[in-house]
Amino acid sequence: MTFFETPLEIVHIGHYTLGMNTYISPTILSNAFGVSPSTLKRWSDKGILNSDRTRGGHRRFSISEAIRMSRDLGIPFRNPESIGLPEPILPTGISGGREPFEILHEALKAEDLNESQRIVLGLFLSGMPLVELLEDVVTPVISRLGMQWVKTHSGIAIEHAATQMLLETLGTLKNLLPTAEGRVLAIGGAPAGDPYRIPTTMAALAVQDLGFKSVNLGPNLPLESLVEYARKERPRLAWLSTTSSDPIPMLQRKIHSVAEELHSLGVLLVAGGRQTGKLTRRPIPNLIEFRSLKQFRAFCERLLAPSNI
């Protein structure tokens, strides 16, 4: 692990793209929380907020750990901008009583990346559970924006631009999550012929949110590569996100065969996405289908708990 020996200079690259693995000093973090350095030390001594030490013995805090504590315990950042974070946004506190969904939709439609990031990260920082944010806010927004493509050519451009902006936003969100070290516990992607990038990105985030290491192998993934990767990394589970609808019988065959290969490696296969329910012709012992990320997260929480590994 690398620590900064000198007081850190916060680097802003665009908006909110600061590496959250970054370690900061007690002075900088206490200022961000608006508390005294001794309060921070107390939190750290009590184990509420984990810290590390430089080689010289000075305490350092990772920003993602500070975010974890803030979200878990509802301790707000009073000066989030001092460490490159946006203001938290309480879903109930949005002006005009509007839904988070509406303001994100407006921002994406206006192709305003900074505003989209501000909203998604702000909701996250206010403590909204990650899968709720992904499933109940982000997903319906892209779904609504997607309705446009049927209507006009510019609708297609809006859908493409929104997809890009969301992927960037999810990338920034990933930086705020706990960074897991050690063994890769989950790998996944979308099968060859399936170009959808957002759902598999979300599945990876749902695992990382639990503090477990996951690797998203992305869309258009030949399933043989998934098996090869599993052979190398020996994860506990692999996920497949399925959106493209045809041809289903071919996809079924591929999923059955990949499930069998993963079974021989002791790896569970979780299938999800829009094609859930159509993916299997007969029960396969290590294949489980989940419709939602919330179920997936709950399952991973149990399966990947240190006591079960």
> Which residue, 63 or 205, has its beta carbon nearer to ligand B12?
205
User: CB 259 → ligand B12: shortest distance, Å?
Assistant: 13
User: CB 168 → ligand B12: shortest distance, Å?
Assistant: 13
Q: Judged by CB under 6 A, which of 30, 116, 117, 139 binds ligand B12?
A: 139
User: CB 138 → ligand B12: shortest distance, Å?
Assistant: 7
Q: Does 239 bind ligand B12 (CB under 6 A)?
A: yes
Contact segment (CB under 6 A) with ligand B12 among 23-31, 94-102, 197-205, 227-235 equals 197-205
Q: Judged by CB under 6 A, which of 243, 252, 280, 286 binds ligand B12?
A: 243
Contact segment (CB under 6 A) with ligand B12 among 8-16, 28-36, 77-85, 287-295 equals 287-295
274: part of which helix (H) or strand (E)? none
Q: Judged by CB under 6 A, which of 203, 204, 226, 269 binds ligand B12?
A: 203
Which segments within the chain are labelled E, that is strand? Answer: 23-24, 52-53, 59-62, 184-189, 213-216, 237-241, 268-272, 287-290
Q: Break the chain down into helix, strand, coil percent, rounded to 5.
A: 50, 10, 40
Distance of alpha carbon 194 from the chain centroid: 20
Q: Does 211 bind ligand B12 (CB under 6 A)?
A: no
Residue 134 makes CB contacts below 8 A (sequence gap 6+) with 202, 205, 206, 293
Task: Give the count of residues interacting with ligand B12 (CB under 6 A).
Answer: 27
Of 222, 280, 240, 286, which Cα lies nearest the Cα of 259?
Answer: 286
8-27 positions binding ligand B12, by CB under 6 A:
none
User: CB 142 → ligand B12: shortest distance, Å?
Assistant: 5
Q: Which residue has the tokens 């107390």?
A: 42
Q: Judged by CB under 6 A, which of 114, 163, 252, 280 binds ligand B12?
A: 163
45 conformational bin, left if phi > 0, alpha if psi -120 to 50, beta if neither: alpha
Q: What is the largest CA-CA distance in the chain?
A: 63
Q: Which residue has the tokens 């909203």?
A: 119
Residue 251 makes CB contacts below 8 A (sequence gap 6+) with 191, 242, 275, 279
Contact segment (CB under 6 A) with ligand B12 among 26-34, 58-66, 108-116, 271-279 equals 271-279
List residues binding ligand B12 (CB under 6 A). Answer: 135, 139, 142-143, 146, 159, 163, 195-199, 202-203, 239, 241, 243-245, 270, 272-274, 290, 292-293, 296
